[in-house]
Chain A
Amino acid sequence: MTDIHTLHILNKTPEHPRSKACRDALRPGDALLLIESAVLALAAQSGPESDVPVYALASDIVARGLGQCAREASLVDFPAMVDLTTRAQNVISW
């Protein structure tokens, strides 16, 4: 059952130009998965205010000491990350 239209997987820091391009491409029905350096967006003051569901890879959050500021993202482990990709019609790795 593909309830997600496009899953956007982002691993760039918030300052990287591709992060802005990714955010501009988000549409209702999509989902955003933050991994590696992209999880730093959760620590940034501006924060990733977006109207699509935001997920973040727990091991990357913990590695960067961001445990307490992952509030507006749902944490996923690797199996849950794979499950997300199976629920999406399209997947874009930015």
Chain B
Amino acid sequence: MGTLMVIDQPPYGIWAGREALDMAFSLAAFDQPVSILFTGAGVNWLRTYQDTREINQKSVEKNLSAAPIFGVEAMYACARACTQYGLGPENMVDGVVLAENSSDLIRQHSHTAFAG
């Protein structure tokens, strides 16, 4: 079922997550089946209304919106991590599927790669 990029690093604090997103977009651009799983602190990428002007960084929200255009098959979020960080449908970006069991999801993919 293709490659699963796992992003468990928080947004903005370090660059590892962005590198994983770029890797996922590159794979998708070369028609490799790829999906992304946000877990742990990585689910914080998915919160809406990120205003990053004062930290001089591009909002990851904008990067994420490009995922379908690149052909990323699906974006998943670990349900437990979302609960832990107070994330729900009302404050998450659209098009993200809640994954009840991240391990099963990882096992369903032929390749898995992590950020950082």
Q: A residues bordering B, Cβ < 8 Å? A: 11, 13-15, 36-37, 40, 43-46, 58-60, 62-67, 69
Per a CB cutoff under 8 Å, which of B54, B84, B85, B87 touches A63? Answer: B54
| A11-B13, A13-B10, A45-B86 known; A64+B47 contact, CB < 8 A | yes
Per a CB cutoff under 8 Å, which of B41, B49, B54 touches A65? Answer: B49
Number of interface residues of B (CB under 8 A): 24
Are B86 and A64 in touch, CB under 8 angstroms? Answer: no
Are B51 and A63 in touch, CB under 8 angstroms? Answer: yes
Q: Tell me, yes or no, whether B103 is within 8 Å of chain A by CB.
A: no
Q: B residues bordering A, Cβ < 8 Å? A: 10-14, 40-41, 44, 47-52, 54-55, 57, 59, 83-87, 91
Per a CB cutoff under 8 Å, which of A36, A44, A66, A69 touches B84? Answer: A44
Q: In the bound complex, what is the Cα–Cα distance between A13 and B11 (angstroms)?
A: 10
In the assembled complex, how far is the CB of residue A10 from the closest CB belonging to chain B, in whole angstroms?
A: 11
Tell me which residues across on chain A come within 8 A of B85, comparing CB atoms. Answer: 40, 43-45
Are B83 and A13 in touch, CB under 8 angstroms? Answer: no
Are A40 and B10 in touch, CB under 8 angstroms? Answer: yes
Per a CB cutoff under 8 Å, which of A14, A15, A46, A64 touches B12? Answer: A64
